[in-house]
Every structure is written in C-alpha cells, then in structure tokens.
Amino acid sequence: MRRPILYYIRHGETDWNARHRLQGQADTPLNATGEAQAQRCGKILRKLLLLREQNPADLDYVSSPLSRARVTMELIRTALGLDRAGYRIDPRLIEMSFGEWDGLDFAALQAQQAAVLALRQQDPWRFVPPGGESYEQLLPRIRDWHAGITRDTVVSAHLCTARALLVHLGLEPQTTASRGRIEHAVVYVFDHNGMTRHGA
C-alpha cells in the first residue's frame, strides 16, 4: 500500500517575513506579495494534478490555524476551482513557537543576544528559545498529524513544520534540517520518490 502523497505549501510572504522578523505563532497576515505567491502555488498545483491525472476535488485539504496559512489555502483552492472554505484546520500544524522572540528582528536579536544564539548554533535541533519550543518538541505533533493521513493531501503550513516533516520522513537528518530552505511560492511534493520541488 502506497503512502499518501503530500502537496506541501509554505504560506505566502508576510510583512514580517519581508522584514526578517521572527513570526512563530504570531498571527500575521499575508501581504500583497504573499497573496500573489499563494495564487501562483494554486496554478502550479493545478498543473501537477493534471499531469498526475488527479481530480482536485478528490484530495484532502488541511491548514495550520494561523491566518497566513489559511488565506494561502483559500487562494489555492480558488485557483483549483474549489469552494474557498472547503478545508480542515489542524492545530498540530501551527508554526513552532519562538516564545519571547516572536516579533523580534533577527539582526537585532543577533546584536542583543549573541551568547544565546551561539548556544543555538551548537545544537539548533534541541535549542529552546525563551518561552518557546525546539524542533525536538515540534516533531511529535508533526509525527502525530502525519500518522492520521489516509489519502493524498494538500497542506498549507510553515517553514519549521516542513523541516520537522523532513526529519520525520527520513529525508533530512536533524543535524541539517533546521537550516533547510523551504520557500514561498513553491509546491513541495512528498511521495515514494522522496521530496520534489515545483516552482513557477
């Protein structure tokens, strides 16, 4: 029995992304660029499903509860000709928490807390930001979510949840996963071939 295919999309850009501010679980909206990126992902996904002879209506659709992921999903579904609201929300897909660092400019953080960030560099997988969570703590909820997938699924979520998924699926070691690039405006396909990247 084949493992269900995942079409994984990181939410579109927000102003905080553009300004290199840590978002974590802060509920920041898409900006105009992010909306365009989500629409582009919908078009990419439509082509992929056509090539794979899959009917978009036959897939499951699930999003993180944060609005930047939900709006991304809604724009994708619109591009696929589906009801904008016909998807599920799963709290286990919420982004990793940066705790007290949520909203901070990363360059300023480097200047103000260089010693703490040096500890993070030593073991980024297990490092816990003040009041936040580590990748190690994030992984069990991603594993638990993935265990419940029963059919091919479109996912709208986040950078760190994607990194944890890569580790869970055995596609990336913990030692490098926390630095892996997961970009906006790209559809990542997880199937029996591993992971493939599909951009505009």
Assess whether pLDDT exceeds 80 at residue 200: no
| pLDDT attached to residue 129 | 92
Q: Against a cut of 0.75, is the pTM above it?
A: yes
* pLDDT class of 1 with cuts at 50, 70, 90: low
| Single-letter amino acid, residue 41 | C
Beta strand segments in the chain, E: 6-10, 60-63, 88-89, 153-157, 186-191, 194-199
Residue 92 counted as domain residue: yes
Residue 1 counted as domain residue: no
* pLDDT class of 116 with cuts at 50, 70, 90: confident
Q: How many C-alpha atoms does 103 have within 13 Å on its Cβ side?
A: 5
| Chain-centre distance for alpha carbon 26 | 14
| pLDDT attached to residue 126 | 95
Residue 63 counted as domain residue: yes
Residue 45 counted as domain residue: yes
Which percentage of the chain shows pLDDT scores above 70? 99
Number of domains composing the chain: 1
Assess whether pLDDT exceeds 90 at residue 119: no
Assess whether pLDDT exceeds 80 at residue 16: yes
Assess whether pLDDT exceeds 90 at residue 162: yes
Question: CATH number of the domain that 189 lies in?
Answer: 3.40.50.1240
Return the minimum-mean-pLDDT range out of 33-37, 83-87, 107-111: 107-111
Residue 160 counted as domain residue: yes
Q: Which residues are catalytic?
A: 11, 95
Structural domain boundaries enclosing 92: 6-199
Q: What is the DSSP string of 130-174?
A: TTS--HHHHHHHHHHHHHT--S-EEEEE-HHHHHHHHHHTTSS-H
Give per-residue pLDDT as tens, 26-69. 999 999 999 999 999 999 999 999 999 999 999 999 999 999 99
Q: Which whole number is the average pLDDT over 121-129? A: 93
Residue 136 counted as domain residue: yes
